[in-house]
Every structure is written in structure tokens, then in C-alpha cells.
Amino acid sequence: MAAATAMAMAMLAALAILVLVPSARGLNRAEFPPGFLFGVATSAYQVEGAYLEDGKGLSNWDFFTHTNSRGIDDGRNGDVADDHYHRYMEDVEIIHSLGVNSYRFSISWARILPRGRLGGVNSAGIDFYDRLIAAVVQKGIEPFVTLHHFDLPHEMETRYGGWLGAGIRYVQLLLLRLYFVSLFDEIGREPALHRQKQQEKPFPREEFDYYADVCFKAFGDRVKFWATFNEPNLFTRLAYVLGKYPPARCSAPFGTCDSGNSHREPYVAAHNMLLSHAAAVHNYKKNYQATQGGSIGIVIAMKWYEPLTNTTEDILAARRALSFEVDWFLEPIFFGDYPREMHELLASNLPKFTSEEKSLLQKNKADFIGVNHYTTIYVKDCISSPCDLNTYEAYEGNALVLATGERDGVAIGKPTAFDGYYVVPEGMEQIVKYVNQRYTNTPVYVTENGYSQYSNNTMDELMNDGERVNYLQGYLTFLSSAIRKGANVRGYFVWSIIDNFEWTFGFTVRFGLYHVDYETQKRTPKMSAKWYRDFLMGSRPTDQVQTLRADS
């Protein structure tokens, strides 16, 4: 009976896809609006390498991967990564060869300000990004720059306690001082761990605003798209709920960290990030936007959530999951306060905005919303019925929902190499429409969308990545459908141009359109790179992708 039920569900799912999927035949660039940005994306720590070169300071990820290698699936780090710091010209050439008109990348805060605003600006860091931006612009490609993509100077953690805004007694860091002494001798400075104060200190939003200001001054004449933060909702969850990202703080039942409070700290960190975002946006709009002519926004990680059943409880649970993931950051930015559902469920664990802070947020709305969308999952209500919430899969922002990729034993879509991510193209249309309707038609850029492979696949499987081609085609088809129905979407970026260091997954998964041999750093285009190039140049009907191979 169970097998028959599963088969019936699979048939219904297949039928639904046949009915719901817009036709991909003939999908081409011309279907998208004039001026639409098509691009590729990377982030600093994942590709740059050169982690202590030319005056760069240690970042939180440098410290974390060197002292907690067990937290990385393959025990490796981003010290070299894709060596983009030395190979950026080669990478700009391959980006240009695809025919894209935009390149999204992030700036390493620790490369610009190795010790924050108290340590001075690193001119070599400014010079690197100046050369990178110049190379991109010279190719007619629009730079789309993120200021914080999970990394910040490690000294921000030791001095302020990072985004928690309190001086944490990092006494244990003293025990690690000998491990790093040669590194600090090499760059000619001391981490000053012995000088750490015991009293609490607020994390001044001026630190982020100062960093942003340095970037606006140095690069704003050529950068017309700024994102303050990349996926702060995901970062705070992984860093302060599950303890998977630095500073690795959590509490039971979500993890076994040395310290932390998974029920409160993610919201404190998010609160400080929101106020830092608002300060930077205020600065840009007041002092730079009129003369530089750019725009500034924020990038949020966004799944689409489907109710596990058609009960009212599960339908409300899906809506609640969106509030705790998407609206957590966007409602304060656009309306000045957190969603009602968060106030009701979190009570005193949710920080309060002062009237002045609400005014700062509302008067400095984002010019655009960046949507990082990869997958769709089911959610089940856990208010009216009991759930086991003691698992990673179950946790969706203390929203009291159970998240799952299966219903009656049938997966919501084809699983990928990235744990918990499934191929569900129709979710792209749903999430884009949700954001546009809720946030008054604010311009949207799909700032990340991509497909992961296991690194231990055969070389033929890695290079002839038809599943990635199908993924991109499917998601672009539903994005095109959303635009035809009125969604104000202005750009789309594939994650990523090259295989890279994928955070706690290390080098065990690959998202790139280009394969990277990490021993030689050779970049080789996969089938998907050729498909994306042909799609952008309008030279191949999308229903002929089965004839395309990486070696063709």
C-alpha cells in the first residue's frame, strides 16, 4: 500500500510539473526586458586566496578554518582557493567570453581594513579591487559589489564579539596565540589578544559604515550596484544557531558549542546587522548617490515553502516560515519593524527598535532586493501538533515548523549535492512574485541561482553537466514567466562562474560553470558554460541542449 501511495504521489507530481511548467522551447535572452542584467557571481573568501598577502589581515574565516578544520567537510580552507587574487585577469576574460553584462563579487573587509577602522586602510587592498573593477568595466561588464559576504576582520570578533555587539572574553584565543605567531610576524603586527578587555563593548555600526564609506569613495565612480550584506539571514542562523560558521556559537538542542544562546543571539546579531545596513544606506544616499548615480540594496537567502498538507495549519506554517526567513530582514528595512509572527513567537528574545532606529530604517529603504534562490521545501506546523525540532532539517528560524524535502516518501524534487537542496524550478516564480507583491514592486535581482555536483563525480560527469543545464533552463523559464506576469525583476546571476571553496562543504561540491583543477588552477568550461554563452548570444534554441557537450 505504501509503495502504491508513493507511486501515485510521484505520478501526481509529474503530472503537476507537466501542467505547471511554462514551455522552455525557444527560451532566449530576448524574452527578458531591455537592460536586464545577466551575470555570474563569486565571493571574496571563496575564490581569492592570498589570505595573508599584501597587508591583508586575518578574517573570521581564516581563523575559523585554521582552528576548527573538523568543521569543514574535507578539513581544508580558502588560503589559496581559486587563486583569483593572482588570476583575476584570466577570470575576467572567461567571464567576458560568456557574453554576460554583469559580474557580482564581494570585497574582503579584512583586505581593505585589516584591523577595522582603528588600523588604517590597506592601500594594496584598494589597489587590487581598483584593478579588478577597471578590468571588468573595460570589458563592458557592470560590477555588482557586495560589502559583507560572511567574512569580516577577525579582530572585529576579538574586540567587539563580532555582530553580537558585546565584548566576549575570548580567553581561549590566548591558547592559540603560539599557533599564529609566525603568521603575525610575517605581516608585522600582533593580534593584541593580550590586550583584550573584559568589559562589554558595543559593536559600533560605525565600523561597518566606515568600511562602506571607504569603498564608496574608492570605487563608487564605477560601481553602480552595491549590496550591504549577502544572506544575513542564513549567516546568523549558521553562525549563532547551529554554530557551523564563525564564531561558532550555539546551544542545545541545535548544537554543542562552547558557548552561545541559539534562541536569542541570532536575533541580536541580525539586529546589529540591520542597523549597520541602515547606517551605510543612509551614508550612501546622503553623500554619494546623487553624484555617483548608483543604487544600494541587500541580498537575502530565500527558499520557497510549500505546506506539507493542505490543512490550514500547514498553510499558515508555510507563511510563517517565509516571515522568519525573508521578512525577518525585509520588513524592518521597508516598514521599520519585525514581522508580527516573530514578535508573537520570540517575545523578549527579539530585540526592539527605538523610535529613532525605526525612522532610520524607514527613511533609508533599499533601492533593490537581491534574491538568492536555489530550492523549495515542505513545512509542517508544529504549534498545533508535536514535532521533533532537534535536527538541522527541522529548524527554520524558531518559526515552530518542521522542514522536510519529502512527502509520503516522495522527494519534492531531484536532490542535489548540496544537503537539503532540491530541483524545484517553479519555486523561482513563486518567491519572486511574493517579494514583489509584499514589497511594493521594489526592483528585484536574482543574485544567486545554481546547481551543485559532488567533487568525486567522474570527470565526464563533472564536465558534461547536463543536470546543471536543465536546472538553469528550468529556473530561467519560471523567472521569465514571473516577469511576463508583472514581476519587477531586473537581473539574474548564476552561482558560480568557477568551482570554489564552498564554506563548510570545503571543496567537496562544485557549483561552477567552469571546472577548476585545484592542483594546477586550470579553468575549463563545462557544458553549462557553453549553454549559458549560447543562451545569452541567442545562437542555440534551448530545446537542443541535448546535443551540447563540454568537448563539442
Distance CA(22)–CA(429), nearest Å, equals 11
438 grid coordinates: 509584499
**Alpha carbon distance 265, 368 (integer Å):** 27
Q: For 57, which DSSP code? A: P
DSSP H or E segment with residue 228 = strand 225-230
Sign of CA dihedral 324, 327, 333, 337: negative
Task: Name the residue with cell 541561482.
Answer: 449
List beta partners, residue 142.
102
Task: Give the contacts of 107 (CB within 8 A, at least 6 positions apart).
Answer: 44, 129, 145, 146, 147, 215
CB 428 within 8 A of CB 479: yes
> Phi then psi for 359, rounded to 5 degrees?
-65, -40
Q: Nearest to residue 456, comparing CAs of 412, 533, 509, 416?
A: 509
Is residue 129 within 8 A of residue 88, CB to CB? The reply is no
Q: Is the peptide bond before 247 cis (omega within 30 degrees of 0)?
A: yes
| Cα–Cα distance for residue pair 275/336, rounded to 1 Å | 11
Conformation bin of residue 441: beta by default, left when phi > 0, alpha when psi is -120 to 50: left
Q: Does residue 231 have an active-site annotation? A: yes
Find all residues with CB under 8 Å of 125, minimum gap 6, and list them: 54, 55, 56, 108, 111, 112, 114
Q: Which residues of 5-28 are buried (b: 16+ CB within 10 A; e: fewer)?
A: eeeeeeeeeeeeeeeeebebeebb
Residue from 231, 325, 357, 426 carrying the catalytic annotation? 231
From 341, 448, 467, 502, the catalytic residue? 448
Write out the catalytic residue numbers: 231, 448
